Amino acid sequence: MIAPAAFFVLAVVLFVLGVIAFFVKKDLLTQFMAVEVMLNAGNLALLALAKASGRPDGQALVLFIITVAAAEAVIGLAIIVLIFRQRKSIRTDDLEDLKG
């Protein structure tokens, strides 16, 4: 039997990798993908901890979160499309009209 701790640590590692990816990547789309990694890490943590505490709801929660991720993906891609149409680029750092 694998200790839930292992799953949790994996979740944390994935979360942190997602964070790093968010910083390393330079376009909106990939940065959003990095966020997806973080969300998935959250899901994993949820399942791991739910299992550790012996609750059956973990799966249900994960289901909701995946739905949320999907919804975010929809709106996110729409925004990225919008940006791309305007600027012909989705480089995040190009978004600097607003500052100061």
Which of the residues 49 through 78 are near another protein (CB under 8 A)? 49-78
Residue with tokens 């993906």: 73
Buried b (16+ CB within 10 A) or exposed e, 42-75: bbbbbbbebeeeeeeebeeebeeeeeebeeeeee
Residue with tokens 């701790």: 5
Count of residues in contact with another protein, rule CB under 8 A: 96
Write down the least CB distance from residue 100 to another protein, Å.
Answer: 5
Write down the least CB distance from residue 88 to another protein, Å.
Answer: 9
Write down the least CB distance from residue 32 to another protein, Å.
Answer: 6
Give the x/- contact pattern for another protein in 10-49, rule: CB under 8 A: xxxxxxxxxxxxxxxxxxxxxxxx-xxxxxxxxxxxxxxx
To the nearest 10°, the Cα dihedral for 63, 67, 68, 72? 150
